Copies of this chain bind each other. A is one copy, B any other.
Amino acid sequence: MGSGRPEEAEAVIIGAPFDSTTSFRPGARFAPQLIRQVSYVLEEYSPELDGSLEEVRFFDAGNLDMPAGAPGPALSLLREAVAELAFKPGLRLFLLGGEHLVTLPAVEAALAFYPDLCVLQFDAHADLRHTYGGEKFSHATVMRRIAEIVGPRRVYQFGIRSGSREEFRFGQENTSFFPYEITGPLETVLPELTGRPLYVTIDIDVVDPGYAPGTGTPEPGGVSAAEMIAVVRRLSALTIIGFDVVEVCPPADHSWTTAVLAAKIVREALIGLGSR
């Protein structure tokens, strides 16, 4: 996945192989590599969008060398890399996680460039805890941190079906909170999002584990792969300046179907850039 020259690119792909705060099943660090590898099974052409990767000028910057352990150094490194490589005029970020915490530095870097940024999260989990295991920076707190910096009303949460009572209460009171469903709520808010700079983060576990078994914290009862792909195509009507897919966990993705799904989501999002 990926080709082209950096200086002409309209999109840059960065891999963020980090999973140190994963609380259950680690391994998301191997996702950027596997997503690229399996993308070979997909055509360059998307019949639904009638567009092709060949018509998108994107550049794959490879994976960052993120140290394991305490998240601080790894997140700083990612923030700086994103600030340097992406978020120039006309250039969008496509980030391959890694665990969900990698979204935080990407949003921080985006916010410096787009102060009126909104964030769209598709996820089974609210990720709205104030702290988790005593730590402020965790896959379980990442959207709370993001809500703090972009403003809670600017965080749109779709498909959430797991969290503590406190997280659900916080979401209902503070974020644009749409639990359980995706397609319907998205149609509702599309008008208010049109034309605004958006960062989209897709935790692959928003899709039911039947379609996406290879993830760290599978949560039964989600949407189908087909619905999620259709949602991504629908997003092509919007102004996406950053996009990530996180929480693909290769050691649990025995048939690679979760990684292929992630690759297809990225393909549709990349091709969707040109359809606007």
Contacts and interface: CB of A to CB of B under 8 A. Distances in A.
A234 interface: no
Given A68-B23, A214-B255, A251-B27, A208 B224 contact: yes
A148 to B, nearest CB: 19
Main secondary structure of the interface of A (DSSP, over half): loop
Nearest to A171: B47
Given A27-B26, A208-B211, A47 B218 contact: no
Contact of A257 (B133, B210, B264): B210
A98 B84 CA distance: 37
A220 B211 contact: yes
Interface stretch (A108-116, A161-169, A238-246): A161-169
Interface of A: 19-27, 29, 33, 37, 40-45, 47-48, 50, 52, 67-73, 133-135, 137-138, 161-165, 168, 179-180, 208-211, 213-214, 217-222, 224-226, 229, 251-257, 260-261, 264
